[in-house]
Chains A and B, each alone.
Chain A
Amino acid sequence: MIEVKHVNKSFEGHHVLKDISAVFESGKVNMIIGRSGSGKTVLMKSVIGLHRVDSGRIEYNGRNLPDMSVKDVRLLRREVGMLFQGAALFDSMTVFDNVYFPLEMFSGLSAYEMRERTAFCLNRVNLADESFELFPSEISGGMQKRVAIARAIALNPKYLFCDEPNSGLDPKTALIIDQLIAEITKEYDITTIINSHDMNSIMEIGDKIIFVNEGQKEWEGSKDSIFHSDNEALNNFVFASDLFKKVKKAANAYKKM
């Protein structure tokens, strides 16, 4: 579990995160949603420690990240997996080596065990053995995301962060990636935090949703309660398209019945 308490962050006088508090539970897909520029990426990067917060606490099972030494942060990060928006695969390494690398660095397993674990992770994300020796530039965006998920879970992380996991993917591939993240979260009891503005993804796998607007936590709830919220900013964001306006109308009509 990750608890964020009264976090503030500014960049050159611009107050980006304003007193944000939230709880991200383990075994659940926690989603941070909001408009572009609302501060959700800064929030996620602050939670991981890529940005140092100005004030507030970020507790990983009680351990406060801002108080940790550089060494402790590095140790904590071995419990963290991250799926970046652009996959961020190491382009000088093959698909196999991308997943093998964190194991080689920190696992302490034998070469045979590391190869087995790498193959297991790649197979877990439904990548065939034939793709193992390809380079990231030789595979599709969806496959890159799957390799990135395999790399993220290689060291059995307790925490999984996903920054816009569906960006640039077609709807079907996006759904596959979403389901894969949700399955892995439940299977390994991981605390998963996803940063997204993809409504399909939010409605598909979001167990807990936190809406960030202009640097503040505006709303928090489940994907079911999102349809019945009175929060204007949330409604403007979630039901911006005609399709979702109709879905909301239908959901409310169903509730009244």
Chain B
Amino acid sequence: MGIIKETGTYFLLMQRVFVLPDKWRIFFRQFSKELEKLGLLSLPIVIIISVFIGAIMTMQTKLNTENPILPTYTTGLVTRDTLLLEFSSTIMCLILAGKVGSNIASEIGTMRITEQIDALEIIGVNAANYLILPKITAFVVMMPFLVIYSIVVGLVGGYCIGLFTDIISVSDYLVGIQYAFIPYYVFYTIFKSLFFAHIIASVAAYYGYYAYGGALDVGRASTSAVVNSSILILFFNLLITSLMLN
């Protein structure tokens, strides 16, 4: 499919997704399941990656800024801003595109090839709305919490380096992570993460929804979902950053 046709099909699907649910009770039931599946179950990987990256970033920054001209708080400040501006939103979303994106694409793709989506349509259910809307809304709702967790846990990772090694002192690190803090950065990072959450869930759902064939094709749809949502995240990261930070 050409990129224009694919984009058109995506927006037509979204048109079917973003309508009022047939039954709000059923929507909220699905929504709460997705909050757990896409959000809470992503927490362990977010915590593990963030704590290690926070620690490693602190070590790397300290080792590469060993210069008496630079103030001692530099390491903490660089770690904080890197986590806040890029890692916890963009990089974490790229990782979640792999985990959540492939999960959504393979789940919906399997439902497509086993005719479960046709069965929903035959019952008279708007399958796109029933299956996809709870996933997108739940993931968008959970994303700010995942980002905030990632930032906090990343900073804790850096703190551990100060606490358990002699690479950096705890006091220098704590001064650094509080120095010249710009609250707008928090708004910026959460704003773009909401955008990325929508991209991950909707692009993955799109590839799953239009999967056809067998298990191999579901695998292919899953791969396409991860690759394309990653590319879109990087593109929109550039766009949003140039609009919001310039």
Contact = CB atoms under 8 A, between A and B. Distances in A.
Interface string A60-83: 000000000000001101101110
Interface residues of A, number: 24
A257 interface: no
Interface-centre pick from B22, B116, B122, B126 (highest chain A CB count, 10 A): B122
B178 to A, nearest CB: 46
B26 A88 contact: no
Interface in B126-150: 126
Contacts of A50: 118, 121-122
Interface string B92-120: 00000000000000000000001110111
Given A104-B23, A105-B26, A86 B124 contact: no
A244 interface: no
A88 B126 contact: no
Contact of A102 (B114, B116, B118, B123): B123
A82 B124 contact: no
Contact of A88 (B23, B115, B124, B125): B115
Contact of B123 (A78, A91, A161): A78
A211 B243 CA distance: 64
A84 B123 contact: no
A77 B116 contact: no
A182 to B, nearest CB: 21
A123 interface: no
A88 B23 CA distance: 22
A78 B124 contact: yes
Contact of B22 (A48, A89, A105): A105
B119 A84 contact: yes
Interface of A: 48, 50, 74-75, 77-78, 80-82, 84-86, 88-91, 101-102, 104-106, 151, 155, 161
Given A75-B124, A77-B121, A78-B124, 20 more contacts: A48-B122, A74-B126, A77-B122, A77-B124, A82-B118, A84-B119, A86-B114, A86-B115, A88-B114, A88-B116, A88-B118, A88-B119, A89-B116, A105-B22, A105-B26, A105-B123, A105-B124, A105-B125, A106-B22, A106-B123
Interface of B: 22-23, 26, 114-116, 118-126
